[in-house]
Structure 1
Amino acid sequence: MICTETFVYIHEPKTGGTFISTVLDKIHQLKISQYGFPGKIIPLQFCKSKYGKFKHYSKTLKHVTCTCIPKNHKHKIILASIRNPLDLYVSEYHFGWWKNKRYWSCYQELPGFNPLKDYFPEISFEEYVRLFNPCKQSIKTLSEKEVRFGIGPFTKRFASYYCQDPEILLNKLNQSYTTGIHYQDVVTDIQRNLFDIRFITTDNLNCQLYNFLINQGYEKADIEFILDLDKIRPKKSKQRKEAWQDYYNPDLKSFVLEQEAVLFDLFPQFSGW
């Protein structure tokens, strides 16, 4: 999380946050950036520049939700970056946090884990996607004639990060496992419950971040470097050779489109592929 004089940046994992954080550190002249100072991660870094006070939270406060924003910053606009769920699955698969043995006991409860346990975590991408989508929730279409969509893990994470009452909303989403709810109700509830957020997307991150900062009063001369900046990845992240589109066959793509349908409706630009 980063708090500036005019906005707060919320860093959802694997959505271009290292790029945005590094850029904001540079613009506000933070002298010891966690991304440029190997071996040291400071819980809170603070500085002042011509754009006012700047606080960069890291460690346990690096990936926090909108509900964790300090009281004296809650009135500010929120900046958040999002990623196409199809791309996000590939990124999370390769980043590999889920391979950590401390999580394995939790996987025992997943219905798809038992067939994989002999060679886990060396599982294929498709096995990974289906393992973490263990149930197809009963969300009905407006016509109520058929069960259509499920709620995938990234839809749930989106709600927990950006909704004002995530527990209430997530409880309602979880109830859909057994009771069934109107699909449009899910989308409408999330839209109504969102904080005041300006979303930018990873597929056009440089330009959208630049435009956002211009609208916040930042001077062109201080931020135009953003437009030509290459990708900045976390230190442990490796650049993959294949495009994320190469990981999907038609059946797996359809499966993800169904499981994360709420996100694709909230951000229809992601469903074009």
Structure 2
Amino acid sequence: MKAAVVTGGGSGIGKRTVERLLEEGWTVWSLDVCDPIIAEPAEALSAGSRFRFHHCDVGDSDSVEAAFTAIKSVTRKIDALVCSAGVARVGLLEEISPDQVDLMMDVNLKGPWLSIRGALSLLRHGSSVSDPARVVIVGSIGGIRPKMGNGFYSATKAAVHALTGVLAVELASSGIVVNAVAPGTVDTPMMSSLLQGSTPPSYRSSGESPLGRIAQPDDIADVILFYLSDAAKYVNGTVLPVDGGTRAAFIKR
């Protein structure tokens, strides 16, 4: 039975990834700062002890260490780590506050690094270059095509894309491959809160893709599960846009 840890597993892309992995028979540890709203779906899937939740702030080193210490008390090995935790604070660069920048840097950039560092012994155990453990980081199209009004979020995602490549090379010899998905606009609670809140006029959602809709969490989870599959065991260091073609050419709106 395969096992995975998913950060940000309580909501949005992370939550749907947890559900999909449970459906496929994985054991999943969900790490989140929020209560595990996945609990009822997990029961419906008869996941039982295959679903476990730990409260974890991925931007806090002590919190990450405590979560992985708890996981290591149960198992010596995991097959995958999905780093999905993320936050967005929007506004012009001259207007956004240092506290907002610190939050995004801690969660979006430091968070995946701390989580991967905490998981390394679990990922390395029993893995090999022919049968590697997997790390998937949720980046953003914003890290490829930065957007006015969302500058620091885009900067943190561009930085985590860079870390993906470096980690992929540094960890390859120990049997770990590292890749990233770069979603466009996704129908998640985070996006809903941005659109329904007091969003600065400088920020505009990318909206529908050329395919005529925004992404659903399943669209991103599909690609994450591909990265975790045998079909992707030789795929390493990639950042794959999952945006329906939004970044392919400028669309005047």
Task: Output the TM-score relative to the length of structure 1.
Answer: 0.35
Task: Output the TM-score relative to the length of structure 2.
Answer: 0.37
Higher radius of gyration, 1 or 2: 1
- Give 1 or 2: higher helix fraction: 1
- Greater relative CO (CA pairs within 8 A, separation 6+): 1
